[in-house]
């Protein structure tokens, strides 16, 4: 009988130990923090994607020079390793590789590739695996919902917000005949829809409103069609390849418009200027972004002047907005790991809420809503104006941050 009681007590003690073990045991710190991401070395998104990747890669190298990234859950710095694969601008391949990063490589942090198209397949995969996705530039509003806590947009507002200031500029300057041409994808369509909605609310109906395939490479016929509507402003929403083809064709046709707006000269000026020339950009309007737009109130990470200097010296590459976006994503990851007291995906997401609205980086104010969408930043309107030495990009609206006045109509 005594033996039986001892056996019962032993079994109960063992069971209690098993039950209580999760409360007392703490996972050992990993030897390195694995950050998984994709980039495109070829295809239509290659130039933007590789710039973003190089910015993230630069952040990794910088923190490793300092002994790694501080992880509050383990109260120490841990080296970072970047695990990256080439998706070749293919969403099908990207889906396979995102799954591979999570299930085979078992990365600790997941970062999306450039833009809404390549991010679109990452969002559901990350949610399915309950993996927090750090999203630098995938700005489609469709990605964000109350049912998905595994997504945070680090470097831009959702694309539907982008043309808000542009619409205000058009309305305030009484530009009433507006032509809009846009690429048929979430990123560009959402901008076109917002612009159209805001103009129509001001009793301005676009004289031309038309979608084209994202792979459109010739706008000559479209430009001639738009020319016949006699617009006061021509707005083209596209990706870099679209902007390049559009501006090249605009110059080749000799068509003149009082105002022309495109997106990516403000993000990747060197790329656009190399392909279309300085003359084609004169008097063109765009969204100014860092490094063309400099924020002076920085309380985390390098200010723009320091970042540009160290990045160009270290990598021998120029800085554009996508470089900044990649680096900025690294800063948000760094702050998240330094804040979260637990090393799990939802704890990381909850940690972000604690510093949202308080963090100023070289990319501006980092602030997200409950769905993880960026709401701290807005995109002003700028215009490239010729000088004796080249082009200067002036912020022309809103007036409280303007660095110059718009030249309208264009000469």
- CATH for 162-293+379-401, among 3.60.150.10, 3.40.640.10, 3.40.50.2300, 1.10.760.10? 3.40.50.2300
> Which CATH fold would you assign to the domain 33-158+295-366?
Rossmann fold (3.40.50)
Query: Residue 20: its pLDDT value, please?
Result: 44
* Predicted pLDDT at 26: 59
Q: Which long-range contacts (CB under 8 A, 24 or more apart) does 199-205 make?
A: 199/167, 199/170, 199/171, 202/167, 202/171, 204/170, 204/171, 204/176, 204/178
Residue 361, Cα to own-chain centre: how many angstroms? 14
Q: What is the pLDDT of residues 164-196, one digit of tens each?
A: 999 999 999 999 999 999 999 999 999 999 999
Per-residue confidence (pLDDT) for residue 27, from 0 to 100: 74
CATH topology agreement for domains 33-158+295-366 and 162-293+379-401: yes
In angstroms, rounded to a whole number, what is the distance separating the alpha carbons of residues 26 and 136? 32
Alpha-carbon distances of 269 from 114, 152, 202, 265, 334, rounded to whole Å: 17, 27, 32, 5, 29
17: pLDDT strictly greater than 90: no
| Pair type for strands 133-135 and 151-153 | parallel
Give the span between the Cα atoms of 63 and 188, in whole angstroms: 35
Bridge partner list, 83: 36
The helix (run of H) or strand (run of E) holding residue 285 is strand 285-286
The pLDDT of residue 378: 87
pLDDT at site 191: 97
- Residue 406 CA to residue 87 CA, distance in Å, equals 41
* Segment 77-83 mean pLDDT: 98
Q: Which residues contact 150 (CB under 8 A, 6 or more apart)?
A: 126, 127, 130, 131, 132, 133, 345, 349
**Domain ranges, ordered by start, for the chain:** 33-158+295-366, 162-293+379-401
Q: Please say whether the beta carbons of 362 and 323 come within 8 A.
A: no
| CA–CA distance, 258 with 285 (Å, rounded to integer) | 11
54 CB burial (10 A radius; 0-12, 13-18, 19+): buried
- Is 60 exceeded by the pLDDT of residue 72? yes
For the stretch 86-114, pLDDT in tens is 999 999 999 999 999 999 999 999 999 99
Q: Which of 52, 67, 57 is nearest to 35 (CA)?
A: 57
Mean pLDDT of the chain: 94
Residue 170 to residue 172: CA distance in whole angstroms: 6
Average pLDDT over residues 290-298: 94
pTM above 0.85, yes or no: yes
């Amino acid at each position: 009988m005594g033996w039986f009681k001892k056996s019962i007590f032993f079994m109960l003690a063992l069971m209690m130990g098993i039950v209580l073990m999760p409360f007392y045991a703490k996972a050992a710190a990993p030897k390195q923090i694995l950050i998984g991401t994709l980039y495109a070395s070829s295809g239509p998104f290659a130039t933007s994607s590789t710039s973003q990747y190089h910015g993230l890669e630069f952040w990794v190298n910088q923190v490793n020079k300092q002994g790694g990234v501080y992880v509050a859950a383990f109260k120490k710095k841990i080296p970072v390793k970047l695990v990256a694969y080439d998706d070749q601008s293919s969403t099908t391949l990207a889906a396979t590789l995102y799954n591979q990063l999570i299930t085979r490589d078992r990365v600790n942090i997941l970062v999306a590739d450039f833009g809404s198209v390549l991010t679109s397949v990452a969002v559901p995969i990350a949610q399915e695996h309950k993996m927090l996705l750090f999203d630098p530039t995938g700005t489609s509003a469709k990605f964000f919902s109350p049912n998905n806590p595994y997504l945070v947009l680090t470097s831009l507002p959702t694309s539907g917000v982008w043309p808000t200031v542009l619409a205000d500029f058009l309305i305030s300057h009484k530009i009433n005949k507006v032509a809009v041409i846009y690429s048929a994808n979430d990123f560009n369509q959402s901008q076109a829809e917002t612009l159209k909605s805001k103009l129509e609310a001001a009793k301005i109906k676009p004289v031309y409103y038309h979608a084209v395939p994202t792979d459109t490479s010739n706008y000559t016929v479209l430009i001639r069609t738009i020319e016949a509507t006699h617009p006061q402003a021509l707005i083209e929403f596209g990706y870099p390849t679209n902007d390049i083809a559009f501006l090249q064709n605009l110059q080749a046709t000799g068509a003149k418009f009082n105002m022309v707006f495109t997106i990516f000269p403000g993000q990747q000026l060197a790329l656009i200027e190399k392909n279309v020339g300085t003359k084609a950009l004169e008097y063109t309007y765009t969204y100014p972004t860092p490094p063309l737009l400099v924020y002076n109130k920085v309380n985390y990470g390098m200010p723009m002047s320091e970042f540009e200097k160290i990045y160009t010296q270290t990598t021998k590459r120029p800085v554009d907005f996508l470089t900044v976006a990649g680096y900025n994503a690294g800063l948000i990851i760094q702050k998240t790991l330094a804040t979260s007291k637990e090393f799990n995906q939802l704890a990381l997401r909850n940690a972000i809420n604690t510093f949202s609205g308080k963090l100023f980086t070289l990319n501006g104010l980092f602030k997200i809503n409950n769905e993880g969408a960026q709401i701290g930043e807005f995109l002003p309107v700028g215009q490239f104006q010729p000088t004796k030495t080249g082009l200067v990009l002036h912020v022309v609206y809103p007036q409280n941050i303007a660095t110059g006045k718009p030249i309208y109509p264009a000469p």
